Structure 1
Amino acid sequence: MKRFYLIGFLLLMGFDTLAQISFKYAGTQALPVEASLAWLLRVFGQPWVYGAVIGYIGAFFTWMALLKHAPIGPAFAASHLEVVSVMLLSVWLFDEHLNTTRVLGALAIIAGIVCLGLAESREHVPEPTPAEA
């Protein structure tokens, strides 16, 4: 089951990251924004829009499969790991800069996921009965 969670959450993070990075690329190529049919055609002519759609559809189905088995608290927290992956990829792809606040925020997200995972694993450990103690 641990392998299922690992693969599932990595897949979810990959789909979510694909969607966010694709939206960023599509958004930068859609400028200037106009309320016109020509602008809509230009937006939907960008392959990145379809990367975002694929990312969201993949994330949806992956999330639904994970929710059948994973405890909701840690699953919901782990589903937000894409915040960290998008931040790191944005440094490389969009020349964005890391600063102390962003790094501390990413570490807080990861620490929160770890804490929820540890708490969930402790809840499933059976308590010894008085006869076993």
Structure 2
Amino acid sequence: MVSLWLVLSIACTCLGQVAQKLAVQRIQQLAPDARWGQKLLQPWLVAAIALLGLGAVFWLLVLQSWPVGIAYPFLALNFIVMLVIAKCFFKEDVTSRRWLGALLITAGVACMGLSL
């Protein structure tokens, strides 16, 4: 069950990051004199806050069962998920050096996972 909570925490956190990016893009499209309330209640921003909050709840469930020294490195998987999303969804340029970094992160998380 803890593994499911970890996956849900990572998923919610990454989706929250995507929602933040979409919120910023939408806010930039608003008129320069748009009120702060209009910016803060932008639906993607509300979704981002909700998803990040839900991700934190799932993370707390993970911490109830795993030592923080084991659990925390798994959050590095967020970097890999976001790298793929940046490349595929936002069409960002991802260099070979960044892919190498993602591979090293994956190797490190795998090593940590072996100690469970």
Shorter-chain TM range is 0.7 to 0.9
- Aligned: 1:24 with 2:21: yes
Bigger radius of gyration: 1
Partner of 2:10: 13
Identity of aligned residues (%): 25
TM-score by length of 2: 0.86
Task: Note if contact 1:74-1:113 (Cα within 8 Å) is conserved in structure 2.
Answer: no
More helix per residue: 2
| Whole-angstrom CA distance in 2 between matches of 1:10 and 1:30 | 30
> What pairs with 1:1-133 in structure 2 (closer than 5 Å)?
4-31=1-28, 38-118=34-114, 120-121=115-116
Instruction: Report the more deviating stretch, 60-69 or 24-33.
Output: 24-33
Task: Note if contact 2:2-2:61 (Cα within 8 Å) is conserved in structure 1.
Answer: no
Query: Which structure 1 residue ranges, 5 or more long, are not aligned?
Result: 122-133
Q: How many residues align?
A: 116
- Alpha carbon RMSD of aligned pairs, Å? 2.2
Task: Note if contact 2:13-2:52 (Cα within 8 Å) is conserved in structure 1.
Answer: yes
Q: Runs of at least 4 residues of structure 1 off by over 6 A?
A: 32-36
Query: Which structure 2 residue ranges, 5 or more long, are not aligned?
Result: none
SS state at 2:76 partner: coil
| Whole-angstrom CA distance in 2 between matches of 1:83 and 1:51 | 20
